[in-house]
Amino acid sequence: MAQPLLQVANLDVAYGAVQVVWDLSLKVDVGSVVCLIGPNGAGKTTTLNAIAGVLAPRRGAITFRGEEVTSLPAHERVRRRLTLIPEERQLWPHMRVEENLLLGAFPGNLRRNAPDKLEKIYAMFPLLRERRHHAAGTLSGGEQQMCAIGRGLMAEPELLMLDEPSLGLAPMLVEEVFRLVRKIAEQGVTILLAAQNANYALQVSSYGYVMETGRVALEGLSASLRSNDHVRRAYLGASV
């Protein structure tokens, strides 16, 4: 059996004395789309931040492309093609759109092909080309999400992690964001997606983990989770 692209084993993560994630294990295979679903406060963002190197875990191991990266700083994980698009986009609002995009290729080994990558991003998001000289803070919520996704893709990720990519967007834009997730996956990028919107997340993914109170409560093929009674009642709005 092929080695997973990402393997997380027995992860504990805390903010000071308050533990948020407990004994979490997951894996992401090359070429797959895997989702983390669960309510607000379940630990999804904390998990992605620990994998990205933003938070240091108390315990556990994170292995990417066969290399343990648990102790590596975040920028070294980006160099290794592990990229996080954070919750609420976190753009630099007073910088131009194009400057925000170029910062996605800031690590030295990624800068060389930045102009070519920028053209690919503009081809994927024509609106960003039109707005490239505008301050990122003047964009609409949907446009800011496009810019955040484009910035993440500038790092040429092998694994792209998206944290709540549809947060705060109108329903029509939510559908567009998940369509983009499918499109990125079709281009060969492996994706780990955290979302409260379980309906869309389970539609675009092949495998899912249900997080509740900092632990994995359920896992399985996304199609199976969509038919699970607990998932249907708690996350998909089913009455039975």
Stretch (H or E) spanning 28: strand 18-28
Burial tier of 83 (Cβ tally within 10 Å: 0-12, 13-18, 19+): buried
Q: Which has the higher per-residue pLDDT, 14 or 170?
A: 14
Among positive and negative, which fits the CA dihedral 190, 35, 155, 23? negative
Residues 138 and 227 occupy one common structural domain: no
Among candidate residues 15, 149, 127, the one with its CA nearest the CA of residue 83 = 149
* Distance, C-alpha 100 to centroid of its chain: 18
First-to-final CA distance of the chain: 38
The pLDDT value recorded for residue 192 is 98
Q: Which of 139, 156, 173 is the last residue of a domain?
A: 156
Structurally, the chain folds into a number of domains equal to 2
Query: Best-predicted range by mean pLDDT among 9-13, 164-168, 229-233?
Result: 9-13
What is the reported pTM? 0.92
Q: Are 162 and 152 in a shared domain?
A: no
| DSSP state at residue 127 | H
Exposure string over 187-211, b if 16+ CB within 10 A, otherwise e: eebbbbbbbebbebbbebbbbbbbb
For residue 26, how many other CB atoms are within 10 A of its CB? Answer: 20
> Residue 1: what pLDDT?
59
22 plus 53 within the same structural domain: yes
d(CA 35, CA 154): 22
Contact call for residues 199 and 35 (beta carbons, < 8 A):
no
Q: Could you tell me the CATH number of the domain that includes residue 175?
A: 3.40.50.300
Last residue of a domain, one of 109, 125, 156: 156
- What is the per-residue pLDDT for 240? 46
Do 57 and 107 share a structural domain?
no
More confidently predicted of 21 and 197: 21
pLDDT at 141: 86
pLDDT digits (tens, 9 = 90+) for 51-78: 999 999 999 999 999 999 999 999 999 9
pLDDT digits (tens, 9 = 90+) for 98-139: 999 998 887 666 677 888 889 999 999 999 999 999 999 999
Is the CB of residue 37 less than 8 Å from the CB of residue 201? yes
- The mean per-residue pLDDT over the stretch 94-99 comes to 95
| Model pLDDT, residue 100 | 92
Residue 45 has pLDDT above 90, yes or no: yes
